[in-house]
Structure 1
Amino acid sequence: MLSEDEVDEQIQHVLEEFHGRHQQPRKFLNHRFEAMRRYLPTDSPMSENRQLLIGAYFTQEYALESAALFNPSIVRHPDQTALEDGALRFILSLRSVGEGHISSVTFREGIIDAGNKISVREPTRYATTPEFVPDAFYEKDLFSRKLIELSLWNTFIEHALSTLEDNFTLVQLENAVNSGLRENRSRHQELAPIAEQTIMLARSNYEIFYSPECELSERLIFPFGPTETNGIEDARFVRFQEDDGSSRYFATYSAYDGNAVLPQLLETRDFVRFRMHTLNGPAISDKGMAMFPRKINGHYAMLSRQDGEHLYIMYSDMPYFWHSNELIVKPTYPWEFVQMGNCGSPIETESGWLVLTHGVGPMRKYCIGAVLLDLDNPTRVIDRLKEPLLTPNEHEREGYVPNVVYSCGSVIHNGHLVLPYAMSDYATTFATISIDELLSSMI
């Protein structure tokens, strides 16, 4: 074991070497020590420097954006104060890929001025760890429905939940399930996997939150839930308008655990506190889902791609349960024969719902197209582009996945579509086009 002098020397070296690379390093290392304290072989008191050094041994730097920064989605910033006339402040979400090819969501903010010039604020060099909490309370009825959808409902789980109130915490659920396992020791091997999956479902619904003083570019959505252990991919953000005029933001994303990809839903009002929820129901499959920015005829609506090839639409009275879908768009032109999907949430225009699509053609070349859906009946296609709106040029074809242009969400400002898009899964840029020009190009 190191002497106190050796401990002091080692921690001083660490703090000097990594000075300036991290914010409040002492506070962070102490936090890491507290997370490891229960694994120590003794409860004997120790010096502060020894605690910090233990925390350092269980800390490693991780470069969130070292491999790629792509698949962007853009939404109106909740703060539109202190802007020049005709300007819009926006939030840009991006899929960042780091060591081990683990994907997370990072943010940038910027301004589109009256002349549609786009400026993106320089990010800081830091990333901040959020506070993580499971859902404060789970609703028994809603949680039971999720268990039924996942074929986890049986008399064992029914009995465990019957001991809980209508609203319960994760700790209460764990105690009820573990108590049930003790009461059924003879069936432990049979029931333990069901108990584990039930707890895993609960842990997949959680919240993270940051201090409001934390810069937006320092906030990140890193995999926390058990369904996300290998990445959070392709978040499609949308500013959702409530019936009462208020708004919140939804984002559908793909959670990847190394074996399966599951669509999930993020919710936030301020980009400070984020709630993650599982999506459930027989219509939930595949990926690339995108919420409409408001209810349609009193129902939530979402674009989807259950078969991996076509565009569907779904309706629901609850944003977390989806039971049916309807096919609305099939691949029609050579550049989309392999498959097609959406490039973000529909955008409302006077002419209809503008939906940017992606199509895959020969040599797995991805292009971006567009269709126009009826405002009152989005199952009806009014117009669509015969030729792609955007194709990868010679400067955009090389990357981690070559020959790809792709987006997860656009915005209209000053009569122009502002389209952020990824270039071959390695970097991101912008394109703009007049809405009138785009709509007049459709057939």
Structure 2
Amino acid sequence: ESRDVFNAAAIELNGSIYILYRAMDRANTSTIGLAVSEDGVTIKERLSEPIYAPRADFEAKRGSPTGNSGCEDPRIVHIDDALLMTYTAYDGVHPPAGAVSSISVDDFLARRFEMWSAPFLLTPDGVDDKDLVLLPEKIHENYLLYHRINNRICADLLPDIAAGKRVSRCIEIMAPRHGMWDGSKVGSAAPPIKVGNNWLMIYHGVSRHATYRLGAALLDSSGTSLLARTADPIFEPLEKYEKEGEISNIVFSCGAIVRGDTLFIYYGAADKVIGVATASLAHIIEALS
């Protein structure tokens, strides 16, 4: 991670928040690092080695030895007794693809990271398909997977998460709004959060000036129907480290945690560093009412 750390997922287990972040070395190869926090802000522990690294052909570096490649932008959910991590797999030549790997909660907590399952692709070959996020609950025994085709958020139902099972359709969830802060592109950020019978989705929106901001949307109990969406962003680049970095004017989230009424949003700033922003969950829900 000698070059950059950014775009972090988060999961709370046994009272600790585990932050899985994208780490990039000087050869521009991305791996997944791990930091741990008790209060959601202060880093108590940060491992010196990645917990997940490229293993499959579809994420092995091809082409330029210093081109981007590897395992990018992880999101993680806890379903049954397993942690499922979706991420963008990139070999530097073919279009970015969506992959998944899993590990049991027991193995993760025991730091047996060699037990991550062999990764496989969930998106079609030859299609630029990114921002894969699983709904943290099954819907009628199916997994609901959000992904981004072109400039909009899509979803598809999968009966199981197994090699050979790939998304085959786009149930449109959300599209850009012309002339607004999210008018160029939208994509899922953190896995949706259960609020009552519905789901709160934090998403990123890109303007025509290529500024990345975060917005909030409310989905129905199935996770497939959009009920409401904030007119304005809930978070945008303001600090110097969010406006200046590898790529300017970016806040890009892959993980969020709720404690009481506080929403912790973990994000990459300008593709260079990791930050956390907090907000009142009730205030966000009120803005969507």
TM-score by length of 1: 0.58
Distance in 1 separating the partners of 2:19 and 2:247 = 22
Distance in 1 separating the partners of 2:208 and 2:218 = 25
The answer as to 2:141 corresponding to 1:304 is no
- Return the offset for 1:282: 5.0
Taking the TM superposition and a 5 Å limit, the aligned residue runs for 1:122-271 are 122-123=45-46, 126-127=48-49, 219-229=50-60, 230-240=69-79, 242=80, 247-260=81-94, 261-269=96-104, 270-271=107-108
Residue aligned with 2:255, SS: coil
Please identify the structure whose Cα radius of gyration is greater. 1
Distance in 2 separating the partners of 1:281 and 1:257 = 15
Instruction: Answer yes or no: is the 8 Å Cα contact 1:255–1:263 preserved in 2.
Output: yes
Taking the TM superposition and a 5 Å limit, the aligned residue runs for 1:7-406 are 65-77=1-13, 80=14, 88-112=15-39, 118-123=41-46, 126-127=48-49, 219-229=50-60, 230-240=69-79, 242=80, 247-260=81-94, 261-269=96-104, 270-271=107-108, 272=112, 273-280=115-122, 286-306=129-149, 308-320=150-162, 321=165, 322-332=167-177, 334-350=180-196, 352-375=198-221, 377-395=222-240, 396-406=242-252
Distance in 2 separating the partners of 1:401 and 1:370 = 23
Distance in 2 separating the partners of 1:328 and 1:353 = 13
Counterpart AA for 2:176: P
Distance in 1 separating the partners of 2:124 and 2:43 = 40
Counterpart AA for 1:232: C
Distance in 2 separating the partners of 1:418 and 1:403 = 20
Counterpart AA for 2:131: G
Distance in 2 separating the partners of 1:73 and 1:256 = 18
The list of structure 1 runs, each at least 4 consecutive aligned residues, that deviate by more than 2 angstroms after superposition, is 279-285, 322-325
Distance in 1 separating the partners of 2:46 and 2:171 = 42
* Residues 281 and 387 of structure 1: CA distance in aligned 2, closer, same or farther (over 3 Å): closer
Distance in 2 separating the partners of 1:332 and 1:324 = 22
For the aligned residues, what is the CA RMSD?
Answer: 1.8
Instruction: Answer yes or no: is the 8 Å Cα contact 2:97–2:123 preserved in 1.
Output: no
Distance in 2 separating the partners of 1:302 and 1:280 = 9
Choose between structure 1 and 2: higher strand proportion. Answer: 2
1:438 to 279, 284, 289: 284
Counterpart AA for 1:228: E
Instruction: Answer yes or no: is the 8 Å Cα contact 1:76–1:239 preserved in 2.
Output: no
Counterpart AA for 2:255: G
- Return the offset for 1:298: 2.0
- Return the offset for 1:324: 2.7
Gaps of 5+ in 1: 1-64, 81-87, 128-218
Instruction: Answer yes or no: is the 8 Å Cα contact 1:386–1:442 preserved in 2.
Output: no
Counterpart AA for 1:89: S
Which of the pair has the greater relative contact order for Cα pairs under 8 Å at 6+ separation? 2
- Return the offset for 1:285: 5.2
Partner deviation per Cα, 1:371-418 (whole Å, 9 max, x = no partner): 11001x322211111100100004220000110000111111112211
Instruction: Answer yes or no: is the 8 Å Cα contact 2:100–2:122 preserved in 1.
Output: no
Choose between structure 1 and 2: higher helix proportion. Answer: 1
1:416 to 262, 274, 279: 262
Counterpart AA for 1:259: V
Partner deviation per Cα, 1:185-231 (whole Å, 9 max, x = no partner): xxxxxxxxxxxxxxxxxxxxxxxxxxxxxxxxxx4212122111131
- Return the offset for 1:262: 1.9
Q: Percent identity?
A: 25
Gaps of 5+ in 2: 61-68
Counterpart AA for 1:231: G
Aligned residues: 267
Instruction: Answer yes or no: is the 8 Å Cα contact 2:252–2:268 preserved in 1.
Output: yes
Distance in 1 separating the partners of 2:30 and 2:123 = 26
Farther-moved stretch of structure 1 (349-358 vs 318-327): 318-327
Distance in 1 separating the partners of 2:124 and 2:4 = 34
